[in-house]
Structure 1
Amino acid sequence: MNRKYSIIIPTYNSLRFIKPCVESVLAQELDSFDLHIVDSGSTDATLQWIEGLNDSRIHIYTTASRLGIEANWGRIKDIQRNEFMTILGHDDVLDANYLSVMDALIQKHPQASLYQAHFRFINENSEVTGSCKPMDEVQYAPEYMGVNMAGTFDSMATGYMMRSADYDRLGGIPFFPDLIFSDLVLWYQLTAISYKATALAECFSYRNHQSVSRVSIKSIDALEQFVQYIATAIQQDAALRAEVNRHGLRYLHWLCKGLSHRLLRVPYAERNRLNVKTFVEKCRNYARLWQPDIDYNPYKDKSVRLAAIIDSNVVLRKLFYNIRKMYNKPFN
């Protein structure tokens, strides 16, 4: 069977990284694909470079002005695509055999609803920094969410293959603020249609950029939307509830701790009156939605306590702002 694929790259002002990305797509051994560039009004030379390739497999969709990430990704479902599609980060790189591996995996697991392969991490200089955690060949939706919460699985926005019809039936990617948690929920929903099949081959590279310490209020809003989504989903799926009971609080605490310290780095005037104590209390309420019988107290973690203390004291907070560049990790 001659399956056809669509590779979709949402982008904005990405000239440095999109060059190796696009080149890796055009170098695929399996030539049965088209490439869709979903551009959000780039003002650098991104589009000129792509147009200069003069490749009939490339289709460009741009806008007169910049769109938010949700609006730009939202255009994907309006593009005419082939039977199977994958969304590729504009800074990630496919191995030449990526489509061949996916094609063989689909042939082996025709009933699966989501497909993935193992991958490696690269840094901004394209140096390999490690490999993803091992994945089972077959995985069902509750387990998929469970291993994500347990931290024993590396889930990124790149490398997944799905049927375009399934993507459309789900309404495209869920619109969480800034698409935070959106890919995780999308992969979960697609896996829930049937199951996820994973190739053992390592056939693409995910680019990890240097961590940014700032957090926007949208991150907090996205977390709340994600918590509400899971709270509803566990009412409908006993197996998912079991996974959330097993791993959910640890995952929530990891988010609470990380976002507390990143929130502390945001100038108070830019937080829309949100402080660390208020956010931590939100996390306690989130835990009750997932596990009402558990008394989750984030302040048992001394680093969360310290973040709240610093944030609640004007003098300490100003002192922290003056030396914050010294604190690249949560307090221990």
Structure 2
Amino acid sequence: MMNAQEDNIPLVSIITPSYNSLTFIRETIESVQAQSYPHWEMIIVDDKSKDDSVHVIKQYVKNDQRIKLISLTQNSGAARARNAAIKMATGNYLAFLDSDDLWLPTKLEEQVAFMQKGNLTFSFTSYSLINEDGNHMDIEVKAPKVVDYKYLIGNTIIGCLTVMLDRQQIKQIEMPDIQPEDTALWLLLLRQGHKAYGLQKVLSRYRIVCNSASRNKFKAAYRYWKLLRSQEKLNLVKSNFYFGKYAYHAYNKNKVSLPNGGK
């Protein structure tokens, strides 16, 4: 375990959008508090929730000065919520964790070391799946060693909850206002010439929530097609080709792990 008093430890800013997250937010926050790496700030952006999750978050803010809360005045969506947190972030690194997902205790420590050892701008890790009740599904999504633009387009292999970005080397980080906004950002960065390096170890738990938007495979497919055409500006032939790759990877993922559609 690292000592919080050590000098020159990079600060990690954790970006967490939250909307009606009462059921899971405690467990998510506590998975951050349990990190062996102590030098972090967690910026939670409440996207005008209708439940009592803000009250719960405020209790954590009161008791842990590393946790901060931004409350949006109107519901704006995950991209704008994340961008509000990014603007407030003061860390050397950005990491992303949604309000229903979990990190293993050594996630930050191991990933910061991985970033520093290779002087990396962009890294991600393997992750495993849990169901809505938090039970393990015995399914892992394995990170490849390196991903470039051609690898990622047509593939959603990079889990948002596993990503870490170096703000010293990537000066402009903003999630595009198009879904899937996380994949849109990864493609933007890779198109600029960055590469994403995989830490091939499970360090996060992705929760499958039955009523989440990402579980609707038809909506997910439409969003990906729109991303290819609108942001990536691919012609019809290339869009069809990469959408076919996306459908192939999504089918193989869905048939073994996400039977009703998903990430």
Taking structure 1 as the reference length, the TM-score comes to: 0.63
Q: 1:155-174 alignment to 2 at 5 Å?
A: 155-164=158-167, 169-170=172-173, 172-174=174-176
| Residues 116, 175 of structure 1: alpha-carbon distance in 2 compared, 3 angstrom cutoff | same
Query: Could you give the per-residue CA deviations for residues 60-80 of structure 1, whole angstroms, max 9, x where no partner exists?
Result: 100234333343233233213
Say whether 1:93 aligns with 2:102: yes
Q: Structure 1: which amino acid aligns with 2:85? A: I
Say whether 1:31 aligns with 2:56: no
Q: What corresponds to 2:256 in structure 1? A: none
Among 238, 242, 249, the alignment partner of 1:248 is 242
Matched position secondary structure for 1:210: coil
Query: Could you give the per-residue CA deviations for residues 209-228 of structure 1, whole angstroms, max 9, x where no partner exists?
Result: 22655866x97466334324
Deviation at 1:7, TM superposition (A): 0.7
Equivalent residues of 2:45, 2:72 under 8 A apart = no
Question: Residues of 2 paired with 1:254 and 1:199: CA distance?
Answer: 24
Query: Could you give the per-residue CA deviations for residues 265-321 of structure 1, whole angstroms, max 9, x where no partner exists?
Result: xxxxxxxxxxxxxxxxxxxxxxxxxxxxxxxxxxxxxxxxxxxxxxxxxxxxxxxxx
Matched position secondary structure for 2:176: coil
Say whether 1:144 aligns with 2:143: no
Q: Structure 2: which amino acid aligns with 1:197? A: Y
Among 169, 174, 177, the alignment partner of 1:175 is 177
Say whether 1:201 aligns with 2:201: yes
Equivalent residues of 1:24, 1:96 under 8 A apart = yes
Matched position secondary structure for 2:142: coil
Deviation at 1:158, TM superposition (A): 1.4
Q: What corresponds to 1:265 in structure 2? A: none
Say whether 1:56 aligns with 2:65: yes
Question: Residues of 1 paired with 2:172 and 2:84: CA distance?
Answer: 15
Q: What corresponds to 1:135 in structure 2? A: 143
Q: 1:84-123 alignment to 2 at 5 Å?
A: 84-110=93-119, 112-123=120-131
Q: What corresponds to 2:231 in structure 1? A: 229
Q: What corresponds to 1:83 in structure 2? A: 92
Equivalent residues of 1:105, 1:197 under 8 A apart = no
Larger RCO (CA under 8 A, 6+ residues apart): 2
Matched position secondary structure for 1:103: helix
Say whether 1:188 aligns with 2:187: yes
- Shifted more, 13-22 versus 158-167: the winner is 158-167
Query: Could you give the per-residue CA deviations for residues 110-155 of structure 1, whole angstroms, max 9, x where no partner exists?
Result: 0x22111111011101111133343332332222325x1xxxx633
Among 73, 79, 85, the alignment partner of 2:82 is 73
Question: Residues of 2 paired with 1:230 and 1:108: CA distance?
Answer: 32
Question: Residues of 2 paired with 1:214 and 1:105: CA distance?
Answer: 34
| Residues 249, 13 of structure 1: alpha-carbon distance in 2 compared, 3 angstrom cutoff | closer
Deviation at 1:108, TM superposition (A): 2.0
Equivalent residues of 2:115, 2:121 under 8 A apart = no
Matched position secondary structure for 1:173: coil
Question: Residues of 2 paired with 1:64 and 1:108: CA distance?
Answer: 41
Matched position secondary structure for 1:115: strand
Say whether 1:42 aligns with 2:45: no
Equivalent residues of 2:15, 2:82 under 8 A apart = no
Structure 1 portions without partners, runs of 5+: 235-240, 258-327
Sequence identity (%): 20
Question: Residues of 1 paired with 2:203 and 2:78: CA distance?
Answer: 27
Taking structure 2 as the reference length, the TM-score comes to: 0.78
Question: Residues of 1 paired with 2:80 and 2:55: CA distance?
Answer: 23
Q: Structure 1: which amino acid aligns with 2:139? A: S
Q: What corresponds to 2:133 in structure 1? A: 125
CA RMSD of aligned residues (A): 3.3
The count of residues paired between Structure 1 and Structure 2 equals 240
Say whether 1:8 aligns with 2:15: yes
Larger radius of gyration: 1
Q: What corresponds to 1:298 in structure 2? A: none
Matched position secondary structure for 2:72: coil
Query: Could you give the per-residue CA deviations for residues 22-60 of structure 1, whole angstroms, max 9, x where no partner exists?
Result: 000011101010110111122322122122231111111
Deviation at 1:109, TM superposition (A): 1.4
Q: What corresponds to 2:4 in structure 1? A: none
